Chain A
């Protein structure tokens, strides 16, 4: 057995998990790991400018690539700064490993040890219990390899999620014999089995008999890599496919059977047809309130079949008639075979006609697209310029919902957004992380001015580390989404939503050594995007838009999916 320090054991364990990048910021309690990184040639460290962004960068990396994203911070404030990023990864089921430094478990000076409120001590295990899939704190060097293997296993299997490893400083520096292992050994962690054929047959029966079948797919389909299976299933059933916001990209939105995304700001065609369907096959979705809007009326005429790897998602929000608790890809393959045996060909013509008609009448992108500086025009132009595999990230607010409505996602893992937590400031660092994972692809953050300011300092990271991305700031001068709520639900009693023209985003970009371009017409916008796509440095495109534009249509809180309001 080799002898080494805990810090070295950690790095070697990470290498064995094929970690090539760590996003982080250092500090006293994590210095031994940084010292071990000094000689490391396999792992690239990217210096974030705020730990929250380091976590978002790791998540962007994970969401774009499907690999684990790793972030690192020192104890105390470094660790607590990670918290929002970890919570974001938890709610979006992203495989992220967070490494934190910690006060020693014992030491020469006994006041400097865990539990005595030493300088920069924070109980990060306690703090993150509710927002990690699991967390660990090794007490000895020899525990580290197994712990890392187990942490990666937990983060990536079943329903993925963040795992935090808190590393007391003395455990980083102590030297001991270590044995590396790639075998996880968590007896209490069991993954769902392959689905029972009887269940699959029942589901197939329902689907084969359906007159108006519809598929609702969520982020789980992307995580399971089951997009091809969804396409096959939809073709077999001639069933339209609606995605949740998190599911965007899981089904190509230019496919004739795509209805776009469903929900509060969903595509009206999706919202309408879900309410007309007689059988709903839901895959990898937790039926969040933003997708269902009203639990009592959601798809109320449909028999519901749910496939999810997380048993706790069954009957949590929506009660279903039939549940398959298993991996989506495996389940869909079995379901496809079983359904094709039972299906009578040549039926469902009436439904297909209705689907086409609803799409044509209701889809925002099939209505007129204006030529002025409005989100719909801007985003459809951006889509045309962007390669199929170009990666979109978004911030939170109107910019995000406009992206959902107008920015078609054509491939899995090309639409990356903070779905569950709705974290302003996520999009830009996520774009940086995505670019690190997919260096040969174009990455664009569709931003709001308010959100971008929350992570703007990462411009320094992107410039210094040569990670060129594009930021399109839909600059309405306001915290637009909350302004929209004040406008429509609080009788225009605007309060605390004005951002003014501050900062000047072109100068801001330039101050960081990035490129800034302001545009005042669609043509100039297109040119700016082309310039940015060929640029070797991050480009911020400042796009002034009106401050009173609503995201429409909109389902007011409490209403059912088809009760959308607003001319669009």
Chain B
């Protein structure tokens, strides 16, 4: 597949069993590249929001949007255009600490990145950090010099800017 840019689409779906499976399956079947997918509740309890990042050129993205829209349980699909949305990702990073100088260095970096330390042991520190994917990438790069023991990233979740809201009628 041609490589393209990372695009973010926001999908509202019926909060029913099998829906995540059918959307994820669709990406595999159609040969679309998912970078991340997050699913969670919305202000309406019977509706879930999926935030999907895909690596796709314009033509492929058009197909992604149309194919996702075509799923019976899809309520709305929207491509989030650069600059018109806010997005966050959460990462938990367990960093290797061998000498105590490293410990204070890591703590400093965590403060600069406005992360939080959520667990400490004699030879590790676990950090929680949220932000856009670039911020997390940058922090991870720094931590690599110390050694990343474990990493868990959630993938991004996003909302369009402004007062606009999608409400689905019962």
A315 to B168, CA, bound (A): 29
Contact of B21 among A129, A189, A310, A316 (CB under 8 A): A129
> How far apart are the CA atoms of A154 and B70 in the complex, in Å?
12
Q: For chain B, residues 92 to 151, give those with C-beta under 8 angstroms from any C-beta of chain A.
A: none
Residues of A contacting B162 in the complex (Cβ-Cβ under 8 angstroms): none
Q: How far is the CA of A134 from the CA of B18 in the complex (A)?
A: 11
Residue of A130, A187, A189, A312 most packed against chain B (CB within 10 A)? A312
B59 at the interface (CB under 8 A from A): yes
Evaluate contact between B22 and A129: CB separation under 8 angstroms.
yes
Cβ-neighbour of A154 out of B29, B69, B72, B75 (below 8 A): B72
Query: Which listed residue, A129, A133, A188, A316, touches B18 by the CB 8 Å rule?
Result: A129
The stretch among B31-39, B60-68, B81-89, B152-160 that forms the contact with chain A is: B60-68
In the complex the two chains form, is B21's CB within 8 Å of A134's CB? no
Residues A188 and B169 in contact, CB atoms below 8 Å apart = no
Counting residue pairs across A and B whose Cβ atoms lie within 8 Å, the total is 39
Nearest chain A residue, comparing its CB with the CB of B29:
A130
B72, A134: Cβ atoms under 8 Å? yes
Q: Is A126 an interface residue (CB 8 A)?
A: yes
- B25 contact from A130, A187, A311, A314, Cβ within 8 A: A130
B75 engages A187 (CB within 8 Å): yes
How far is A125 from B26 in the complex, measured between Cα atoms in Å? Answer: 14
Does B79 lie at the interface of the complex (its beta carbon under 8 Å from any beta carbon of A)? Answer: no
| B12 (CB) vs chain A CBs: closest residue | A188
Counting chain A residues whose Cβ lies within 8 A of the other chain, the interface size class is 10 to 19
Q: Chain A residues near B69 (CB, 8 Å)?
A: 311-312
Across the interface, name the chain A residue whose C-beta is closest to B22.
A129
Is the C-beta of A385 less than 8 angstroms from some C-beta in chain B?
no
**Known interface pairs A188-B14, A315-B59, A316-B63; A310-B70 also in contact (CB < 8 Å):** yes
Residues of A within 8 A of B66 (CB): 311-312, 314
> Chain B residues near A312 (CB, 8 Å)?
63, 66-67, 69-70
Q: Which residues of A contact B67 (CB under 8 A)?
A: 312
* A residues 182-228 in Cβ contact with B at 8 Å: 186-189
CB <8 Å contact, A126 and B21: yes
CA distance A188 to B70 in the complex (A): 10
Q: A126-B21, A129-B18 are contacts. A311–B70 as well, Cβ < 8 Å?
A: yes
Closest to B70 in A: A312
B25 & A188 in contact (Cβ 8 Å cutoff): no
Chain B contacts of A315 at CB under 8 A? 59, 62-63
Contact with A along B5-19 (1 / 0, CB 8 A): 000000001100010
B46 and chain A: residue at smallest CB distance: A187
B59 to chain A, nearest CB (A): 7
Q: For window 219-258 of chain A, which residues contact chain B by CB distance below 8 Å? A: none
Q: Which of B43-75 contact A (CB under 8 A)?
A: 59, 62-63, 66-67, 69-70, 72-75
With both beta carbons as reference points, the residue of chain B lying nearest to A159 in the complex is identified as B70
Q: Which residues of chain A are near B26, meaning CB under 8 Å?
A: 130
Min CB distance, B14 to chain A, in Å?
6
Instruction: Point out the residues of chain B lying under 8 angstroms from A135, CB to CB.
Output: 18
Contact B168 A187 (CB under 8 A): yes
Measured between beta carbons, the chain A residues less than 8 angstroms from B168 are 187
Question: Which chain B positions have C-beta within 8 A of A154?
Answer: 72
Give A137-162 interface residues, CB cut-off 8 Å to B: 154
Complex CA distance for A135 and B29, rounded to whole angstroms: 17
Chain A residues, Cβ within 8 Å of B18:
125, 129, 135
Binding site for B on A (CB under 8 A): 125-126, 129-130, 133-135, 154, 186-189, 310-312, 314-316
Q: List 7 A-B contacts (CB under 8 A).
A: A129-B25, A130-B29, A133-B72, A188-B14, A188-B72, A312-B67, A314-B66
- B binding-site residues for A, Cβ under 8 Å: 13-14, 18, 21-22, 25-26, 29, 59, 62-63, 66-67, 69-70, 72-75, 168-170
**What are the 9 A-B residue pairs with the smallest beta carbon separation, nearest first?**
A312-B66, A134-B72, A188-B75, A130-B29, A129-B22, A311-B66, A129-B25, A189-B72, A312-B70
With A130-B29, A134-B72, A312-B67 already in contact, 5 other A-B pairs whose C-beta atoms are closer than 8 Å: A186-B72, A188-B73, A310-B70, A311-B69, A312-B69
